[in-house]
Structure 1
Amino acid sequence: MEKIGIFYGTTSGKTEAIADEIDFNLRKHDHEVFNVADGIDEIENFKNLILITPTYGVGELQKDWEDHSSQLKNMDFSGKKVALVGLGNQFTFGESFVEGMRKLYDIVIENHGEVIGFTSNEGYKYQESEAVIGNKFVGLALDETNQDNETPERVSVWIKEILKEFY
């Protein structure tokens, strides 16, 4: 399997903690972790990617991702497999739960990448989300405010699934 690039944007530190959890679960696999605040140039060097973003406002990308969105929109994702992780609060922002993840999904698909790692929307109590296609989230949805006790198991199960799909 080729090396995995993990890219995350964080404001409050919760997303960085998720990147650490993913890092821990991938400890036996070749991977590298990048904070998007330091740039996204390295994305082009990986065929296997995990992109992690919290959702802010009403379905918006986190600021560091937003700062690099024009560069991201110009990247060619051909031949890349991309797994997405979105953080959000399903109760306070139930009308736009983890929609930042959908923004990344749209960019990857529009630029010819393959998104893997869809997860069931069962077990969540949100109103609606553009990050759901056919009763599945376009990646791993996490709510660190209301369901943080479920995060370790969700991450562990999801990592095992996406590893089967990476090259």
Structure 2
Amino acid sequence: MGKTGVFYGPAKGSVAKVAIVIAQQLGEDSTDLTAIKDCDASSLNGYEKLIFGISTLGRSNWDSEHEDDDWDVFFTHLNQVNWKNKRVAIYGLGDQINYPGHFVDAIGWLYQRLKALNVDVYGAVPDEGYQYTDSEAIVDGKFMGLPLDEDNEPEKTHPRIKNWLNDLKQEGF
């Protein structure tokens, strides 16, 4: 089967670090890494399996004066992708201690946009083991992607990724 495309943004920091870990665990020869700022809708069409990495950046996301980030720009291209036969999974970075009321909200934002396009999204994660008060990523008691907190729980990142990738395989991803 073809390669898995891992598309992530922002291009630096924890989201990029996690993209590299995912590629290593999947096998670097079967994974392509691309910063979302470096692609357009046609970049996604060559993959049947896509993993999107996104972060919830704190106050700037709830401030009406924040500048668009790479994902804000890419969101406008989602309806131009041929989603037929694609399997999509999402991971997201957040801070459950400083922003417990908005933990990994960006997973939810991306998930809602994809569902509106009838995209099959895989890899929901139960919310046990996380400390938060609210999240737009929760649907029926599960995060609609893998939540990670590199600020407060970096030691849990690798095992969570490993378990999530195993779960994705069980789902036929």
Q: What TM-score do you get using the length of structure 2 for normalisation?
A: 0.88
Q: Given that residues 73 and 107 in structure 1 are in contact (C-alpha distance below 8 angstroms), is that contact kept between their aligned partners in structure 2? A: no
Q: Is the 8 A contact 1:2 1:30 kept in 2?
A: yes
1:94 CA drift (Å)? 0.9
Out of 1-10 and 87-96, give the one that drifted further.
Answer: 1-10
Gaps of 5+ in 2: 63-67
Q: Shift in Å at residue 131 of structure 1?
A: 0.3
Aligned to 2:106: 100
Deviation larger for 104-113 or 3-12: 3-12
Cα 1:157/1:59, change in 2 over 3 Å:
farther
Q: Note if contact 1:78-1:112 (Cα within 8 Å) is conserved in structure 2.
A: no
Q: 2 CA distance for matches of 1:132 and 1:101?
A: 9
CA RMSD of aligned residues (A): 2.1
Which range moved further: 150-159 or 19-28? 19-28
Aligned to 1:47: 48
Q: Distance in 1 between matches of 2:145 and 2:128?
A: 13
Is 2:3 the counterpart of 1:3?
Answer: yes
Amino acid at match of 2:137: A
Choose 70-79 or 144-153, whichever is displaced more: 70-79
Query: Unaligned stretches of 5+ in structure 1?
Result: none
How many residues align? The count is 167
> Per-residue CA shift, 1:87-131, capped at 9, x if unaligned?
000111111110111111112111121000001111111110110
Q: Secondary structure at the match of 2:76?
A: helix
Cα drift, residue 164 of structure 1: 3.1
Give the residue type in structure 1 aligned to 2:108: R
Identity of aligned residues (%): 30
Aligned to 1:148: 154
| CA drift at 1:30 | 1.8
